[in-house]
Chains A and B, each alone.
Chain A
C-alpha cells in the first residue's frame, strides 16, 4: 500500500516536472534566452544573500527610574534611557524626558542592552530536532569552508522565540565543530521572520568556524582519514591556509592588472579562507585547551590573520595573559565541563579569571536551553570569580553577555551597549538580571517592541507551534 502511494507520487512528480519544462521552454523560445553570467569574480557580488531586515515600527520611548546596566561596565541607579528612531538617544541619571515620548515607569526594574549569544546553533539544529533538522555539521570533509550556516537556518525554529523571552536580541549562528573548517557563520537579529535574509544583521561581518582538538580528529580519524591526531589537525589548517594564500595572491594580481587579464578559477572554499586573510571574515575558533590556543595563535601569525575569539575555551584561564595580549575574546560557559577530555579542566571561574587578566570574557550558550538564561550563567560565573577573591561588579559581568560578544562578532559599533547612536536593542527586566528569579518584561530590537510578557499581542510563536499542545512559555 505504501509502495502504491510512492509510485503514484513519483508519476505525479514526473508529470509536473515535464509540464514545467515545457512551459519553461515555451517562454524562453518566445522571449529569447536572457543569459546571466555566473559571478566569476568574488568581488563582483560579495553579498549574494543580502539582508532584507528592516527595523519594525517604533516610537520614541523613555524608560524612567530604572537601574540601568549600560553594557559599558557602568550602572546607573534611578536612571533614564531614551530611545528614538530605533537608536539609543540618551542614557543617564539626569536625563529629561522630552514631550511626545511613551514613558515606561521602570522604578524597581532593570534595563540592559539586548543579550547577545555569541555561540548559537538556532535554526541550524532547529526544534523539534531529529535528522530532518540536523543541518549544522557538514561532516563529510575536514575542510568545508565553502558552506554557509545561513543556508541551513530555519526561521521557524521555535527556539528563536524562547531565547528572545530570555532577552537575546542578536545571535551568532555557527556551523558545528566536526571539521577543521566548518564554514561561515551568520549574525542574526532575533526577530520573527519568514526568511533567513529578513533576520540577517545588516552589515555584520561574516565569521569562519574553525575547530581544534578532539572533534575533527575523532570524526575523521575513526573513518581512517586525516586528521586522526592533533598534529594532523594542524597540518590540515596549514595546508588550507597555504592554498588560500596562493589563491588570494592570484586574485591580488588580477585586480592589480585592473581586472583585465584572465580571471583565476573561482573557488567557494577558498573565497571564504581568502576573506579571512583579507581581514574581511572573522575567525571563530572552537578550542578547549590552553596549549592548543597558543598553537592556533602561532598559525594565525604565520599566515597573517587574526583570531576573533576562542569558543568554549575551557582552559582560557591558563593563558589569560596571552589572550589579553593578543586581543582574543573567550566565549565560554560557567557550568559546563568534564563531558570530554579536553574540557576536564573547565572551571566556573574561567570567565572571571579571563576578565581579571584584562581580557575579553564572553558567556555563550551552544545550547537552546542555556541561551534562554545567559544572564544566570553570567551570574554563576561572577559568583565563582568572587569566590576566588576577584573583585568584579555586577555591571562589568553584564558586559560578558552584551558588549563583549558584540566585540567578538564585529558589531560593537552597532549594538551591545546603551550608548547614544547605537541600535536600541534593549531589555526591561522585573529584577536584577543576575538573580535567578529575574524575568524579562519587554524586549526591544532596534527600538521596536518584539516581546512583552504582559501583552499577548507581543508574544510571537513559530508556525511549528500552531496546533500543538498549548504549554505556554
Chain B
C-alpha cells in the first residue's frame, strides 16, 4: 500500500499533475517546524491543505498520499521579501516591467498588485528554490525627473500553480531614503527628510479633514488624493512602512522619525545596521537584508560586512532574507542564508529568516511554520536546504504538490541531446 502511495506521489511529481488528494503525509522527515516544537523527526500529516499533525508518532491514514523524505529536511516554504517576482518578465523589456512608475503625479498610491502575472516564468524557477510566498515591492523608475519620495504599495503573492498570485495587496508602503532618497528630493538628505516630515504632517492633517478636502475646503497639499489616501494607514501605524536605508546615520534618523510619528517601520538594506543593532532591537524594528552585501559599494555602505545578519540577530533584531537581485535570482535566497550561517548566524535563525520571520513581520499568520492549523506550504529537501547540492523533492502549497518543473528545465531537456535528425523545435 505504502509503496503504491510512493509511486503515486512520484507519478504526480514526474508528470507535473497537481495532486489533489485531501490527505498527504510526509514521512521519514527531519522537520524544521520553525514553531514551538523546534526540530522534529517524523511525519507531517496534511489534511485539506492544512497541517493536521506533526511528530514522531503520527498515524498515516490508508488513503493518504505519502511522500517519503528519506531522512531529508522538511521546511516551511520560503517567504522571500523585497522582490519583483511576478511584476516583471524581462528587466530590460520595458513592456514586461511593471515594477515602477515614471508618472510624476503618482507615488504612495502606486499599487504593484495590478501588475502581477501568474504566467511569469520566474515563478516556477523560484519555486524550485523552495520559495512558496513572496512580498513583491515596487521600486523606482528614476529615468524621469520625479521628485516623489514613496515607491508605492507592496503585495504578498503565493507561488502556487494556477492560483491568482495576489493573496493580499497594500501590505506595506515602500520608501527609499539615503543617497537614493536624497537624489529624488533635490540632492540632499536635508531636503529628503524635511520633505518626508512635511508629507507625513500633510497626511495626518488630511486624515482628519477628508470631508473638507472633498469639498475643496483645505489648504494645498503636495500629494494627490490617491497618494494621501494610501498613506493614511501608514501614519496610523496600521500599514508597515519599509524604509530602504544603508548607513548608520540614516538608520538613526529613520528610527527617530518612526518614534515621533508612531510609524511601524521595517528597515531594508541596512548594511551598517550592525552599528545600530542595539537601537534597532530596542525599537523592535525588523530588518530585511541581503547577507552577502559586504562591499563598500557606496559611501553609505562603507561598514558593510558578511557578519551583519549574525550581529543583528545576536542583538535581538528580527531579520528576514531579502532578495535585491531580481525575480530571476530568487532561488539563491537559500544560498544567501547559508552564507550568513558561514559568518556566524545560527542555522535555525537563518531558516527563520526565510520562513517565520517574514511571515510575522508582514502579518501572514497562516504560514511560516509547520504546526497544526497552519497552511501546508512545505518543501521536502534531499538534505540541508541551504546547500547548493541539495534539491527539493517536493514543494507543497496549501497541501497541493506543485510541478517540479520550469521553463528552464524544459530548455535543458530539449537541448540535452544535440545533433538529432530533426531540430530541437520538434521536442517538448
Q: Find out whether the CB atom of A128 lies under 8 angstroms from the CB atom of B412.
A: no
Find the residue from A214, A376, A468, A471 having the highest chain B CB count within 10 A.
A471
Contact with B along A439-473 (1 / 0, CB 8 A): 10000000000000000000000001100111111
Do B295 and A369 touch across chains, with their CB atoms under 8 A apart? yes
Tell whether A388 pairs with B391 under 8 Å between CB atoms, given A465-B296, A468-B303, A469-B275: no
- Of all chain A residues, the one with the shortest Cβ separation from B386 is A436
B302 to chain A, nearest CB (A): 4
B272, B390, B415: which contacts A317 (Cβ < 8 A)? Answer: B415
Q: Is the CB of B418 within 8 A of A338?
A: no
Q: Is the CB of B248 within 8 A of A469?
A: yes
Partner among B91, B122, B297, B416 whose Cβ is within 8 Å of the Cβ of A128: B297
Q: Which residues of A contact B391 (CB under 8 A)?
A: 383, 387
- Partner pick for B298 among A130, A320, A379, CB 8 A cutoff: A130
B139 to chain A, nearest CB (A): 14
When distances are taken between beta carbons in the complex, the residues of chain A under 8 Å from B302 are 128, 468-469, 471
Which residues on B sit within 8 Å (CB–CB) of A347?
408-409, 411-412
Are A369 and B329 neighbours in the complex by a CB distance under 8 Å?
Answer: no
Q: Which residues does chain B contribute within 8 Å of A465, judged by CB atoms?
A: 296
Interface string of A226-247 (1 = CB under 8 A from B): 0000000000000000000000
- Complex contacts, A435 vs chain B, CB 8 Å: 387, 389
Contact B303–A469 (Cβ < 8 Å)? yes
Interface size class of B (residues with CB under 8 A): 35 or more
Expressed in whole angstroms, the Cα–Cα distance for A21 and B5 within the complex equals 91
* B317 interface residue per 8 A CB criterion: no
Note all chain A residues with C-beta closer than 8 A to B308. 471
Min CB distance B360 to A, Å, is 25
Nearest-neighbour CB distance to chain B for A48, whole angstroms, equals 32
**Which of A130, A357, A379, A389 makes the CB contact (< 8 A) with B388?**
A379
Stretch at the interface among B23-31, B198-206, B334-342: B334-342
Q: What is the minimal beta-carbon distance from A299 to any residue of chain B, in angstroms? A: 22
Q: A379-B389, A434-B389, A471-B304 are in contact. Are A158 and B408 (CB under 8 A)?
A: no
Are A341 and B389 in contact, with the CB atoms below 8 A?
no
A100 to B331, CA, bound (A): 49
Q: Is the CB of A338 within 8 A of B307?
A: no
Contact of B90 among A335, A341, A348, A437 (CB under 8 A): A341
Q: Is there an interface contact between B272 and A472, defined as CB atoms closer than 8 Å?
A: no
Residue of B nearest to A368 (CB): B295
Which residues of B lie under 8 Å from residue A473 when comparing CB positions?
Answer: 294, 305-307, 343
Q: A103–B199 Cα gap in the complex (Å)?
A: 66
Chain A CB within 8 A of B263 CB:
no
Q: Are B297 and A472 in contact (CB under 8 A)?
A: no
Chain A residues near B307 (CB-CB < 8 A): 471-473
- Which chain B residues in 259-290 approach chain A with CB under 8 Å? 272, 274-275
> Does A341 contact B295, Cβ atoms closer than 8 Å?
no
Tell me whether A336 is interfacial, beta carbon within 8 Å: yes
* Given A349-B412, A436-B338, A473-B305, also A127-B296 (CB < 8 A): yes
**Smallest CB separation, A465 vs chain B (Å):** 7
Shortest Cβ gap from A159 to chain B (Å) = 6
Enumerate chain A residues within 8 angstroms of B93, measured Cβ to Cβ: 340-341
A339-B99 Cα distance, complex, nearest whole Å: 13
Q: Within 8 Å CB of B229, what residues of A?
A: none
**In the complex, which residues of chain A have a beta carbon less than 8 angstroms from the beta carbon of B418?**
318-321, 357
Contacts A340-B92, A348-B408; A128 near B299 (Cβ below 8 A)? yes
Chain A's closest residue to B327 (CB) is A338
Q: When the two chains form their complex, are residues B275 and A369 in contact, meaning their CB atoms are under 8 A apart?
A: no
A166 to chain B, nearest CB (A): 10
Does B190 sit within 8 A of A, measured CB to CB? no
Q: Which residues of B contact A128 (CB under 8 A)?
A: 296-299, 301-302
Q: A469-B303, A471-B304 are in contact. Are A436 and B342 (CB under 8 A)?
A: yes
Q: Check A388–B305 contact: CB distance below 8 A.
A: no
Once the chains are docked, how many angstroms separate the CA of A413 from the CA of B8?
54
A340 touches B295 (CB 8 A): no
Report B-chain residues with C-beta under 8 Å of the C-beta of A162.
Answer: 294-295
Question: Is B413 in contact with chain A by the CB < 8 A criterion?
Answer: yes
The reply to whether A369 and B388 form a contact with Cβ atoms under 8 Å apart is no
Tell me, in angstroms, the Cα distance from A379 to B332 when the chains sit together.
Answer: 12
Q: Is the Cβ of A437 less than 8 Å from the Cβ of B341? A: yes
Check if B295 sits within 8 Å of A468, measured CB to CB: no
CB-CB under 8 A from A369, the residues of chain B are 292-295
Distance (whole angstroms) from the CB of B402 to the closest CB of chain A: 16
Whether, in the assembled complex, B328 has its beta carbon less than 8 Å from a beta carbon of chain A, the answer is: yes
Q: What 1/0 mask marks residues of chain A from 339 to 360 whose CB sits below 8 Å from any chain B CB?
A: 1110011111100010001000
CB of A380 within 8 A of chain B? yes
- Residue of chain B at shortest CB distance from A375: B388
Is A337 on the interface with B (CB-CB < 8 A)? yes
The A-contacting residues of B in range 324-375, CB under 8 angstroms, are: 326-329, 331-332, 335, 338-339, 341-343
Residues of the B chain whose Cβ atoms lie less than 8 Å from the Cβ of A344:
90
Asked if B91 and A337 sit within 8 Å, CB to CB, the answer is no
**B388 & A436 in contact (Cβ 8 Å cutoff):** yes
Tell whether A129 is near chain B: CB-to-CB under 8 Å: yes
B419 interfacial by beta-carbon distance below 8 Å: yes
- Contact of A439 (CB < 8 Å), options: B297, B331, B342: B342
B410 and chain A: residue at smallest CB distance:
A347
A373 at the interface (CB under 8 A from B): yes
CA distance A61 to B386 in the complex (A): 35
Contacts A338-B328, A340-B91, A369-B292 hold; do A388 and B412 have CB atoms under 8 A apart? yes
**Contact of A376 with B297 in the complex, beta carbons under 8 Å:** no
- CB-CB under 8 A for A127 and B295, given A436-B386, A468-B302: yes
A372 to chain B, nearest CB (A): 8
B292 and chain A: residue at smallest CB distance: A369
Query: A109 → chain B, closest Cβ, in Å?
Result: 15
- B390-425 interface mask toward A, CB cutoff 8 Å, 1 = contact, 0 = none? 110000000000000000110111011011000010
- 26 A–B pairs (Cβ distance < 8 Å), ordered by A: A127-B295, A128-B298, A128-B302, A320-B418, A321-B419, A335-B331, A338-B327, A340-B93, A341-B90, A341-B92, A347-B409, A347-B411, A353-B412, A353-B415, A357-B418, A372-B294, A436-B335, A437-B387, A464-B296, A468-B296, A468-B303, A469-B272, A471-B307, A472-B306, A473-B305, A473-B306
Shortest 9 CB-CB contacts between residues of A and residues of B: A469-B303, A471-B305, A436-B338, A338-B328, A379-B388, A471-B303, A340-B92, A380-B388, A347-B408
